[in-house]
Amino acid sequence: MMLLCPLLVLALAPGIQSQSQLQESGPGVVKPGETLSLTCTITGGSVTSSYWWNWIRQASGKGLEWIGPWTGSTNYNPALQNRITISVDSSSTKYYLRLSSLIATDTAMYYCVGSSTVTQSRAGAAQNGEVDS
């Protein structure tokens, strides 16, 4: 079985400077048990600016699921806590997502997003996305 993890280019959420852009890159398909590694490159800004930089995902037919922010802490979605790492490069223009030991329910579209405000609920964010097999 293969897990499909399509990539896309995302515009920034409302509140982000219009000259900033996000570009996501990484493999399109990974297998169960492998590690998904994604990079989000910020053009016209940096991770150290006063914005919230997050990873989210959306399984087919499901709502958005918060994965976690880059804040220098490990305040991630509790359902993914033991398998996730979010980091930033020394230039502060790229941030990374690593999700290890992939399982079928990790099949989703993965997005990097930036926002000047955060309205997520930890309870709502903790819901694990489910995918029809």
> What would you report as the CA-atom Rg of the chain, rounded to the nearest whole angstrom?
14
> What is the model's pTM?
0.68
pLDDT in tens, 53-64: 788 999 999 999
Degrees (nearest 5) of the Cα angle 30, 33, 39? 45
CATH, residue 63: 2.60.40.10
Residue 92 lies in a domain: yes
Q: Is 131 helix (H, G, I), strand (E, B) or coil?
A: coil
Into how many domains does the chain fold? 1
**Model pLDDT, residue 12:** 39
Residue 132 lies in a domain: no
pLDDT in tens, 2-31: 344 444 334 334 444 444 555 556 666 788
Q: The domain containing residue 54 runs over which residues?
A: 3-125
Residue 66 lies in a domain: yes
pLDDT in tens, 60-104: 999 999 998 876 667 788 888 899 988 888 677 788 899 999 999
Residue 24 lies in a domain: yes
Residue 56 lies in a domain: yes
Distance CA 130, CA 107 (A): 9
CB burial readout 32-61, b (16+ within 10 A) else e: eeeebebebbbeebebeeebbbbbbbebee
For residue 41, pLDDT beyond 90: no
Residue 34 lies in a domain: yes
Residue 131 lies in a domain: no
For residue 45, pLDDT beyond 80: no
